[in-house]
Amino acid sequence: MEDTAQVPAGREPGLSGGGVADREGRGRKAPVWVVDLDGVVWLAGEPIEGAGEAVARLLARGRRVIFASNNSDPRREDYAIRLERAGIDARGVELLTAADAAALLVGKGDRVLALGGRGLSEALEAAGAEVLEPSGDLRAPAPEGIAAVVVGWDRRFDFTRMAVAQRAVRAGARLIGTNEDATHPTPYGLVPGTGAFVAAVSAAAESPPVIAGKPHDPMLQLLAIAIGAESDVEVVAGDRPVTDGVLAARLGAPFGFVVSEVAASDLRAPGSRRGPRRGEEDSSGQVPWEAAWEAGSLLELVEMVTGAA
């Protein structure tokens, strides 16, 4: 499982599923932290206080850090810039996104209709797909020979894009969602997440999607390659039980539930159906709450798990 050549090409050094950590001598046996980004390290790209320090302490204490994000929108270079702004040296960590996971599901030379940001197109192109944009004209004939429609976080999502995508699926294309998060956290509250767009296309096409990102198989496959057979996952840290918590369960690792005040302020509004308290947001029954940690920030979590007793 340590053949990193299977990870899609086109990665920035230090942001691949490979092993900068190997070259720096920490080695594949080092315990791994799988860490979510949105709501844990940053909000809408703005660093959350202490996250950079938390990652620095993990690395100093001999852990490998693999970021696993369901955000398919940013390009690799955007991620590198955001990490640097959060005080994280991108060369010391690894990064897997839902765009990478979706790219596992397309073949070289496939014609793929992509609804999403530049990070999604970048990952699909790195996998050898021919990436097409939905036409902006409803009357235009549907493009021929589309192998897959991939729906990511599409800030330009509208009636026409949905209609074109839905037609391609009805014409035989596979429907792939990068992830199914219903919402996306921002400093000004929740905004629609990729799951909302995937659900819309799926409903219109009357066809169920295959989901690539956390906690589904393609992302799990990428993580297995990146983690390697010899390493153990110490904690899966994230702010969303239904994705990060279930991912922890599937990796057989404890869940580190980061209930960040910044991320949670909106969710905690009186009457909110989704108050993010331990267990409340988990209807899956899969999250390993009996082994879970709960902390107000990534830094607090790192100190709880790896700090001096």
Per the CB < 8 A criterion, the answer to whether 110 and 130 are in contact is yes
CB of 303 to Mg ion, least distance (A): 20
CB of 284 to Mg ion, least distance (A): 16
Cis bond leading into 218, ω under 30°?
Answer: no
Q: For 256, which DSSP code?
A: E
Between 101 and 168, CB nearer to Mg ion: 101
Between 104 and 236, CB nearer to Mg ion: 236
**Rounded-to-integer distance, Cα 193 and Cα 22, Å:** 35
Residue nearest to Mg ion (CB): 39
Question: Token match 């693999």: residue?
Answer: 66
**Residues forming the site for Mg ion (CB under 5 A):** 36, 38-39, 239
CB of 282 to Mg ion, least distance (A): 15
What stretches of 174-297 show up as alpha helix (H) in DSSP? 194-205, 217-227, 246-251, 261-264
CB of 73 to Mg ion, least distance (A): 14
Between 68 and 150, CB nearer to Mg ion: 68
Distances in Å between the Cα of 284 and the Cα atoms of 241, 254, 278 are 9, 16, 13
Find the length of the chain: 309
Between 36 and 100, CB nearer to Mg ion: 36
Q: For 44, which DSSP code?
A: T
Between 24 and 46, CB nearer to Mg ion: 46
Between 131 and 295, CB nearer to Mg ion: 295
CB of 266 to Mg ion, least distance (A): 13
**Rounded-to-integer distance, Cα 39 and Cα 239, Å:** 6
CB of 241 to Mg ion, least distance (A): 11
Strand intervals (E) in 155-204: 174-177, 183-186, 189-192
